[in-house]
Amino acid sequence: MAAAQRIVIENCSIATVDADDTEYATGYVVVAGNRIESLGAGSAPEGLENVVRRVDGTGHLATPGLVNTHHHFYQWITRGLATDHNLFNWLVALYPTWARIDEQMVYAAAQGSLAMMARGGVTTAMDHHYVFPKGSGDLSGAIIRAAREAGVRFTLARGSMDRSEKDGGLPPDFAVETLEGALAATEATVDEHHDASFGAMTQIAVAPCSPFSVSTELLTQGAELARRKGVRLHTHGSETVEEEQFCKELFGMGPTDYFESTGWLGEDVWMAHCVHMNDSDIAAFARTRTGVAHCPSSNARLAAGIARVPDMLAAGVPVGLGVDGTASNESGELHTELRNALLVNRLGAHREAALNARQALRLGTFGGAQVLGRAAEIGSLEPGKLADLVLWRLDTLAHASIADPVTALVFGAAAPVTLSLVNGLPVVENSRLLHVDEDAVARSTRAEAQRLARITARA
């Protein structure tokens, strides 16, 4: 790092979220190239060379960048619909619209989803895209292009569905793929876009949608494909009571046992939601190190229930946070999930002891890095790790009277982002995106939402 250009951030509070939860009331972070070179209490070391920028972090808190572990970007253009439905009724209401998306719509929706997350402190984003209507274009390529342009680190979970209405599923027949087509397209996406190297900006996961929208063969062969290619696996699991009933009626077992029978438990797997988990399910996830993407706002929006996050953490299950699609979480902003994870879980059995502010911050940073298989690279502020960090402003009206900065960040209103670095490069400054025109994105997402609504109405 001796010849690398350096950014020095000083005079800020720091929450490292390392293994010891080390914090500094006033300290510094030195970034050299795309890595964190050093950090600690007090002032930065004297005599640093190639310092291209110094940032006065007075009144700010530095944290690892937020890591989003579950999302559906395309839903940005179907926000505000079916607002009083449970999951299955919501899917039935929206699939006829989603089945008519195309490449232009998906690109605009990805831009909107990424812009909202990045502006709110997300440095690693993830999208689970599983709707590939026939003739809709290169949807995976459009999503990856939007992420590259936004400057964020990104995982595309290439989803798939092969169980349509004629097979007892929910999606329209023309919105699903064949088993062979889904596997081939997924493998091609991995081959074209996955980067397995340290510091990769784009990675791919294999991600059949859910037990009730894919065949057992797609799950089983998808797991085999992922392990042959050395990539991670993602799907929805145990989201609702109805899903549990569906699995028992169709497969003679609950979701967790069904997933295990198809090769879908393991340290290379993470599942979204996991709301309806009994003690045996949690033990199986802990034993196999299967990860969970906790999506509290979406679970509340769809009345799915309260996931047993405190019990999962106590058992050793890796847990991160997810926005989920913005048709079931219209804010599309991960900071909200820090607060809601804490508040919603306090409504459960553990009450006020469920989660505290630092546990919530860990879920949104290091927990997410674990779930995505990138804990050695991101998720905490430590020398040698990638320089993905956020400087939150906490000296304004919204937070200034809260003495503890982590409490202010988690319990308080959404804090402004003064600076967000991804791979050592600024992507947000003073709450504005540097690589994307937010106003232009707002116009394009509105136009594409209206175009999709017109197409659906004509159909």
DSSP characters for 282-343?
A: HHHHHHHT-EEEE-HHHHHHTT-----HHHHHHHT--EEE----TTS-TT--THHHHHHHHH
Please, which pLDDT band fits residue 2 given cuts at 50, 70 and 90? Answer: low
Q: Within 10 Å of residue 309's Cβ, how many Cβ atoms?
A: 28
Can you tell me the mean pLDDT for 22-32? 98
CA dihedral 117, 119, 125, 130 (to 10 degrees): 40
Q: Is the pLDDT assigned to residue 3 strictly greater than 80?
A: no
Inform me whether the pLDDT recorded for 412 exceeds 70.
yes
Task: Give CA–CA dist 409/358, Å, rounded.
Answer: 10
pLDDT at 424: 98
Kindly report the average pLDDT of the chain as a whole number. 96
pLDDT at 365 over 80: yes
Task: Output the CA–CA distances (angstroms, integers) from residue 319 to 174, 270, 294, in the order listed.
Answer: 35, 9, 7
Q: Can you tell me the distance from the alpha carbon of 432 to that of 420, in angstroms, rounded to the nearest whole number?
A: 10
Cα–Cα distance measured from residue 38 to residue 382, given in angstroms and rounded to the nearest whole number = 7
Q: What is the structure's pLDDT at 172?
A: 80
Q: Give every CB contact of residue 107 below 8 A, 6+ residues apart in sequence.
A: 142, 143, 145, 146
Count CB neighbours of 279 within 10 A: 10
Look up tokens 């009933």; give the residue. Answer: 245
- Mean pLDDT value of segment 158-180: 88
CA angle 354, 239, 181 (to 5 degrees): 140
State the DSSP H helix or E strand holding residue 391, giving kind and residue range, or none if neither: strand 389-393
Give the integer Cα–Cα distance in Å for 6 and 260.
47
pLDDT per residue as tens digits for the range 53-110: 999 999 999 999 999 999 999 999 999 999 999 998 999 899 999 999 999 999 999 9
For the chain, the C-alpha Rg in angstroms (whole number) is 21
**Number of neighbouring beta carbons within 10 Å of residue 458:** 7
72 in Cβ contact with 25 (< 8 Å): no
Show the beta-strand stretches assigned E in 1-144. Answer: 6-15, 23-32, 35-41, 51-56, 60-64, 66-67, 122-129
Which pLDDT does position 170 carry in this prediction?
77
Query: Residue range 155-159: average pLDDT?
Result: 98
- pTM of the shown model: 0.97
Query: What letter does residue 416 receive in the DSSP assignment?
Result: P
15 forms beta bridges with 23
**Which residues neighbour 192 within 8 Å (Cβ) at sequence distance 6 or greater?**
none
C-alpha 273: how far from chain center? 12
Q: Are 419 and 55 in contact (CB under 8 A)?
A: yes
Reply yes or no on whether the pLDDT at 319 is more than 90. yes
Nearest to 291, CA basis, from 69, 133, 95, 450? 69
**pLDDT tens-digit series, residues 227-267:** 999 999 999 999 988 888 889 998 999 999 999 999 999 99
Q: What is the mean pLDDT of residues 131-149?
A: 96
Give the pLDDT confidence score for residue 169 in this predicted structure.
Answer: 77
Confidence class for position 1, pLDDT limits 50, 70, 90? low
pLDDT of residue 357: 98
> What is the DSSP-derived secondary structure letter of residue 186?
H
Cα separations in angstroms, 437 against 111, 112, 148, 149, 434? 10, 10, 14, 11, 8
Show the tokens assigned to 229: 């290619």
Handedness of CA 100, 326, 393, 67 (dihedral sign): negative
